[in-house]
Chains A and B, each alone.
Chain A
Amino acid sequence: MTALIGEAAAEVGAEARSTGSRTRGPRTSTRRSRRVRYALTVLAFLLPSAVPLLLFVLGPMVAAAWISLTEWNLLAPAEWVGFENYANLLTDPETADVFLHTLYYIVGYLPLVYVGGLAIALALNTALRGRTVLRGVYFLPVITSWIVVALVWRWLLNPSNGVVNTVLAWFGIDGPGWWTDPAWAMPSIILASAWKDLGFVMVILLAGLQAIDPELLDAARVDGAGWWRRLFSVTLPLLSPATFFVIVISLINGFQVFDQVYAMTGGGPGGATQVVVQQIYDLTFRYGKAGEASALSWLLFVVILAVTVIQIRGQRKWVNYG
């Protein structure tokens, strides 16, 4: 419907413009109608995206703030409780737990994908034979869905007859229970996630590496700098914008980790991998506490926003935009 109106308005606008360029009469009525038609043109181009964004992003965002101030089980009418949900969340030790589990995920995941992605990017940035094919293979997990990644790794890390423990057994190692063991469940999720995202980080860092002027590295080499020295004194400082981007995006995504947790452990065993979003989902759809869930989701949003703003503020100290 909006699209139809939009098209009609756009045609009117186009007409206005073309007639406007032919007849030069500066009569105020034509000028005004031209302005109206231009405004209609602008609206015609904007509304197809503005209406969905208003209805399905900005509107619900505001609604979530309101819901977070109520007690609501999705069925009975919502009951106004003020800031009680926030007060409950902030005093509930479970809240600290779910944030700590999320942090555990991030702290394990980020160094793994960054160092791994950087190593692969550095190697692919040399005159390697078959680098396009290699890059394609390393990138392959990125296009796979989190659910498939979770299922495949559940199977690879199956405690009884998964391939990883089978291979470990060949060497006489008694493999751990992986996602069935509270101590190993989060490492299992981290491993699967790093496998999926390694290629993404690699491509971003590779693009950053290719933007570095080779003459700078040559100059460092002539000055007698070895490989490690050149990496830390030339490459990494020049790569800092790409590194910054990887860290910002990884933290935003890391705080929102859900799909792979849901499919690999569902937050278990014994709540060992209960992350923030899993908690939001459970509060809403299992315990009928939509108000508390909305409060937690706003809390999460504020944390993500704060972390992102702090990074943008802090980037001046270490990010080098040449």
Chain B
Amino acid sequence: MAETTLAPTTARTGGIRRRTDAARAALARSVVLHVVMVLGALAMFFPFYWTVVTSLTPGSGLSSTPSLIPADASLEAYQRLFADLPFARVVGNSLLLATITTLAQLFTSATAAYAFSRLPFRGRTVVFGIYLATMMIPLQVLVVPLFAELRAWGLVDTYLGALLPTLAAAFGVFLLRQAMNQVPFELDEAAALDGAGHFRIFWTVILPNIRPALATLAVFAFMGSWNSFLWPLVVLRSPELQTLPVALAGLQGQYTTQWDIVMAGSVVSILPMLAIYLFAQKYVIQGVANTGLK
């Protein structure tokens, strides 16, 4: 596969006839590869398409499979979703929690990363090691004691209870420290000579220089909160406080066979993430690629 288009003319050994044969074979392989990749992409995309089609076909699943191109598309499922359920509230909850989580993680990760990148102190390596170790601890181990802790504070079934455990994450600290280490120390020194202290250096020198990493973290933090399930499931009990994934899981139990409504809910849940993804695709993909390289 790899050589079909990258290979220059390694067929130099043969005559002109052989070269055209090789070129023709390369072209054929390239066409096949393009066709296969496009078909694969269509197959990967099909579930999304089918979700939208189902959500636009009233009564889907009760008796019939929707047709590939809906004959009479209708927004009925969406209307019922927002009329029968506090669904607007649920979407609002998810937006609120994801926004606060994102802002909080940007703040807590950036400050910690600055300390680990720019402020030498005794035991710094050990403290950083402990931060990294928290990434290894699965949420499942924490769920029972976290639930007990927040219940003791009277925070079960509150926004604050859902938010508190998400305010800081070692992943963000790691990501931003990596970015800060690549900002030349001469910039800090120049600012320090002008009389800037650490807080000013952090704000006016470091942060503007790591914008791409901040964008990556923002997208990941938002996505993590928007899609998170186990903790909101455990801590938020009232229907009007639920987040999208939890409400969707409940929707399925409620409308067992009404797939148009369940799929309409899924579309509503995908759209905001899709908008962010289209807008910040570069940062998302770069972020994933970087985690693999380091």
* Residues in A lying within 8 Å of B, measured CB to CB: 3, 6-7, 10-11, 13-18, 21-22, 38-39, 41-42, 44-46, 48-53, 55-61, 63-64, 67, 74, 120, 122-129, 134-148, 151-156, 158, 161-163, 166, 195, 198-200, 203-208, 211, 214, 217, 221-222, 227, 230, 235, 241-242, 245-246, 252, 255-256, 258-259, 262-263, 277, 280-281, 284-285, 290, 293-294, 297-298, 300-301, 304-305, 308
CB-CB under 8 A from A308, the residues of chain B are: 136
B61 & A155 in contact (Cβ 8 Å cutoff): yes
CB-CB under 8 A from B199, the residues of chain A are: 7, 10-11, 13-14, 41
Number of B residues near A (Cβ < 8 Å) is 99
CB-CB under 8 A from B248, the residues of chain A are: 147-148, 151, 263
* Residues in B lying within 8 Å of A, measured CB to CB: 1-7, 10, 33-34, 36-38, 40-41, 44-45, 47-48, 50-51, 54, 61, 63-65, 107-109, 111-112, 114-115, 119, 121, 127, 130-131, 134, 136-149, 164-165, 167-168, 170, 173, 192-193, 195-200, 202, 223, 226-227, 229-230, 234, 244-246, 248-249, 252, 259, 262-263, 266, 269-270, 273-274, 276-277, 281, 284-285, 288-293
Quote the shortest CB–CB distance from B282 to chain A (angstroms).
Answer: 10
Q: List 30 A-B contacts (CB under 8 A).
A: A22-B195, A41-B119, A45-B111, A45-B119, A48-B112, A49-B108, A49-B168, A50-B168, A57-B142, A63-B145, A122-B2, A128-B33, A128-B37, A135-B285, A137-B44, A143-B277, A151-B262, A163-B50, A206-B289, A217-B3, A221-B3, A227-B3, A281-B140, A284-B147, A297-B140, A297-B141, A297-B144, A300-B138, A304-B138, A305-B136
B146 & A60 in contact (Cβ 8 Å cutoff): yes
A294 & B145 in contact (Cβ 8 Å cutoff): yes
* Max chain B Cβ within 10 angstroms of own Cβ: one of A17, A56, A195, A256: A56
The closest CB in chain B to the CB of A52 belongs to B168
Main secondary structure of the interface of B (DSSP, over half): helix
Quote the shortest CB–CB distance from A46 to chain B (angstroms).
Answer: 5
Main secondary structure of the interface of A (DSSP, over half): helix
CB-CB under 8 A from B2, the residues of chain A are: 122, 125-126, 217, 227, 230, 235
B137 & A61 in contact (Cβ 8 Å cutoff): yes
9 more CB-based (< 8 A) A-B contacts, given A199-B44, A221-B3 = A38-B119, A42-B121, A52-B167, A56-B164, A74-B148, A126-B1, A138-B40, A143-B276, A245-B292
